Amino acid sequence: MTYTVEIKVMPLKELLDPQGKAVMGGLANLGLGGVEDVRIGKNITLQVNAGSPEQAKQIAEEASRKLLTNPVMEYFEVSVN
Amino acid sequence: MKFGVVVFPGSNCDRDMYDALKHDMGQEVEMLWHKDKDLSHFTTDDCIILPGGFSYGDYLRCGAIARFSPMMQSVIEFANAGGKVFGVCNGFQILCESHLLPGALLRNGHQQFVCKNVLIQNPAGEIFKVPVAHGEGRYYADEKTLDSLEANGQVIFYYCDEKGKRTADANPNGATRHIAGICNANRNVFGMMPHPERATSSVLGNTDGRAIIRELLMSTQLVS
């Protein structure tokens, strides 16, 4: 059957995220208090045809390792719905 | 020796590179289409160049999709066989994504696209003036990789000021350790963010790029 797999991709925690920094400035201009940090990543949704949720997850993890993310700068989390 | 310049969808410095090599430096150059695979007419004495631009619209990550194009499979084989491969700007990003060079190029630390002349210095201490034009040129690798690059003399250019000092002001993108360009351990794959091909014409007022191309890629060749 077809599984919907969500992949969350985020910049590594130790790296400066200039996009998040710019948005942080925007939030400050908006006058919203309390936001101490912003980091921006991306969300990738795959429709995966597989025999089981585990297999779908495995396929998505391989896709993430080989193309969808770059471990030098990003980490990812995979969840099957 | 001859040069091949790979044209990806979204490359925009391919013609500049061709013109610099052909007309300013009198070299034999051929354009190579990304969908082709044939490099059989090139020998390992030749050099394949990955030009600047926005291959595949910079989708996903800069260089990530170009890595899987048919021509890149041949370029990777060519590099592994000892042929020279040179990536400028987006070409450098593609080489990192292809694992031919370590590390990655991140979004500039100051969040802006930067387009200006910068100064860079090679390990011999020579300083060159070359243009940069990029939004994602902040070289990054983990400390261990950076240490080994420096220990092996694989950093081919650092950003510097007129006196050769590596300062934050002279670093246009926040690159770690002020790195502007690197090579692989075998010294046949080179990548740099600045554009030497934009500095090869005396009419345009700067020919420092000729020395860079000559020293990196043609050290045993005569340039007209």
**C-alpha–C-alpha distance, residues B203 and B189, integer Å:** 30
pLDDT for residue B4: 98
User: Among residues B58, B62, B52, which one has the least CA distance to residue B6?
Assistant: B52
Tokens of B140: 């990054």
**pLDDT tens, position by position, B62-112:** 999 999 999 999 999 999 999 999 999 999 999 999 999 999 999 999 989
**C-alpha–C-alpha distance, residues B156 and B154, integer Å:** 6
Q: In chain A, which residues touch B (CB < 8 A)?
A: 15-16, 18-19, 21-22, 67-68, 70, 72-73
> A9: domain CATH number?
3.30.1280.10
**pLDDT tens, position by position, B5-33:** 999 999 999 999 999 999 999 999 999 99
**pLDDT tens, position by position, B153-212:** 999 999 999 999 999 999 999 999 999 999 999 999 999 999 999 999 999 999 999 999
Size of interface A-B (CB pairs under 8 A): 32
Range of the domain at A20: 2-80
Q: In chain B, which residues touch A (CB < 8 A)?
A: 60-61, 64, 68, 96-97, 103-104, 106-111, 140-142, 174
Q: What's the number of domains chain A is made of? A: 1
> B199: domain CATH number?
3.40.50.880
Range of the domain at B195: 2-220
User: Among residues B101, B81, B83, B77, which one has the least CA distance to residue B91?
Assistant: B101
Indicate the SS3 state at residue B21: helix
Q: Known catalytic residues of B?
A: 89, 195, 197
Q: What's the number of domains chain B is made of? A: 1
Q: Is B200 exposed, middle or buried (0-12, 13-18, 19+ CB in 10 A)?
A: buried
The DSSP secondary structure of B126-154, one letter per residue, reads: -EEEEEEEESS-EEE--HHHHHHHHHTT-
Say which of B109, B111, B140 has its CB closest to residue A72.
B140
| Residue bearing tokens 């595949």 | B56
